[in-house]
Amino acid sequence: MVSIHLKHEGGWRKVSVDGRRILVISDGAGTERNRAVYEELVSQGYEMDFVRAGSRSFEYPTDWQHGNPASCDSHGFPTHDLAGFGHEVGDRLRVRPPSLIICGSRGSQVTLGVILKHHWRGPFIAMNAGPMTSRTDLPRDCFACFVTFGKDYFSTKDPTFTNAAFQDLASTEERGILVHLPKEAHMPRASALSQVLGRIIKVGQERSTSQEVQSIFWPEQQMTIFELTQGHAPKILWEW
């Protein structure tokens, strides 16, 4: 079982959920290009719930770069864009709360932030570290797992940028993990992602310590793994 928090009557309630339940925000997460990676996770026993924004997949809200996009209109209805989509995902995950969320690119830049602010808090994996490019606050009770790529066009291709943004946006003493693959582009190859994604799920769900991360990972490809802690310098756990 994995502990997460759900918004409840104006506050946050801690609940335990089945560790097999994972929600994937498909928009930006490469669920088509890297379908084999997600199929492999299903074969390992994970229950993957894929959610899609449909026609809103590339509709960014105004001021999305500043971390607090408008996600409801003047009547209280979700906006027809990636931010409003976050409320629809929030309604869905309340019915069957996931133990972890996987997202990437635009899904992590916009939709994830709405979920964390209004609906659900727990461990997540954000490929491309999108929340750091959109100035998204990382509230307490999250455990951020970032996967970044050295040939990306996001600023997160530089781990220094990602850590600096984490220091600004994470709650006091909040921890996270950054797995940096220097040879991969914005959409990583399936062969590279498959070697790390399942292990990052385990790290996120267990909120692993430095020693546990080092026991879960081993360098099958060129990578650097950092432990991020708000208020402290990043610590290199693996480098190859």
At 35-53, the pLDDT tens digits run 999 999 999 999 999 999 9
Q: Is the pLDDT of residue 149 over 90?
A: yes
Mean per-residue pLDDT, 113-139: 96
6-11 long-range contacts, Cβ below 8 Å, gap at least 24?
6/94, 6/97, 6/119, 6/120, 7/90, 7/118, 7/119, 7/120
Most trustworthy range by pLDDT among 59-73, 193-207, 208-222: 193-207
Cβ neighbours of residue 196 closer than 8 Å, sequence gap 6 or more: 147, 179, 181, 217, 223
CA distance 137 to 128: 16
- For tokens 């133990």, name the residue: 99
Q: Is the pLDDT of residue 218 over 90?
A: no
Q: Is the pLDDT of residue 217 over 90?
A: no
Q: Is the pLDDT of residue 239 over 90?
A: no
pLDDT band at 73 (very low <50, low <70, confident <90, very high): confident
- Which residue range(s) make up the domain with 192? 2-60+68-239
Q: Is the pLDDT of residue 219 over 90?
A: no
pLDDT band at 74 (very low <50, low <70, confident <90, very high): confident
Mean per-residue pLDDT, 80-96: 93
pLDDT of residue 113: 95
Q: What is the DSSP string of the chain?
A: -EEEEEEETTEEEEEEE-TTEEEEE-TTTTTTTTHHHHHHHHHTT-EEEEE--GGGTT-PPTTGGGT----B-TTSPBPSSHHHHHHHHHHHHHHS--SEEEEEHHIIIIIHHHHHHHTEESEEEEETTHHHHTT--B-TT-EEEEEEEEE-SSGGGSHHHHHHHHHHHBPTT-EEEEEEEEEEESS--HHHHTTTHHHHHHHHHHT--HHHHHHH---SSS-EEEEEETTS--EEEEE-
pLDDT of residue 76: 84
* % pLDDT > 70, the chain: 100
pLDDT of residue 138: 95
pLDDT band at 238 (very low <50, low <70, confident <90, very high): confident
pLDDT of residue 3: 95
pLDDT of residue 41: 96
- Asked whether 60 and 80 are in contact (CB, 8 A), the reply is no
Number of domains composing the chain:
1
CA distance 68 to 135: 8
CATH of residue 103: 3.40.50.1820
pLDDT of residue 206: 94
Q: Which residues pair with 21 in a beta bridge?
A: 47
Q: Is the pLDDT of residue 192 over 80?
A: yes
Token code pair at residue 47: 């229950």
End-to-end CA distance of the chain: give it in Å, rounded. Answer: 33
pLDDT band at 152 (very low <50, low <70, confident <90, very high): very high
Mean per-residue pLDDT, 72-97: 91
